[in-house]
Amino acid sequence: MTGDPAADSRFLAYVLRHNPSAIGVTLDGAGWVAVDVLLAAMARHGRPLSREALGAVVAGGDKRRFETSGGRIRAMQGHSVPVDLGLEPLAPPAVLFHGTVPRFLAGIRAHGLRSGRRTHVHLSADDQTAAAVGARRGTPVVLRVDAAGMYRAGQLFYRAVNGVWLTAEVPPQWIVLP
Ligand code: HQG
User: Atom 17 in ligand 1: which residue has the minimum CA distance?
Assistant: 104
H or E segment and range at residue 156: none
User: 49 in helix, strand or coil?
Assistant: coil
Q: Ligand 1: does its nearest atom lie under 6 Å from the Cβ of 14?
A: no
pLDDT of residue 6: 87
Distance (Å, whole) CA 65 – CA 104: 25
Parallel, antiparallel or unpaired: strands 33-34 and 141-146: unpaired
HEC profile of 61-82? CCCCCEEEECCEEEECCCCCCC
Report CA(98)–ligand 1 centroid distance (Å).
8
pLDDT digits (tens, 9 = 90+) for 57-91: 999 876 889 999 999 999 999 999 999 999 999 99
pLDDT of residue 14: 97
Question: ipTM of this predicted complex?
Answer: 0.95
Report CA(46)–ligand 1 centroid distance (Å).
30
pLDDT of residue 61: 72
Q: Which residues of the chain have pLDDT under 70?
A: 1-3, 62
* b/e burial code for range 48-84 (CB count within 10 A of at least 16 → b): ebeeebbeebbeeeeebbbbeeeebbbbbbbbeeebe
H or E segment and range at residue 107: helix 105-111
Report CA(100)–ligand 1 centroid distance (Å).
7
pLDDT of residue 47: 92
pLDDT of residue 1: 47
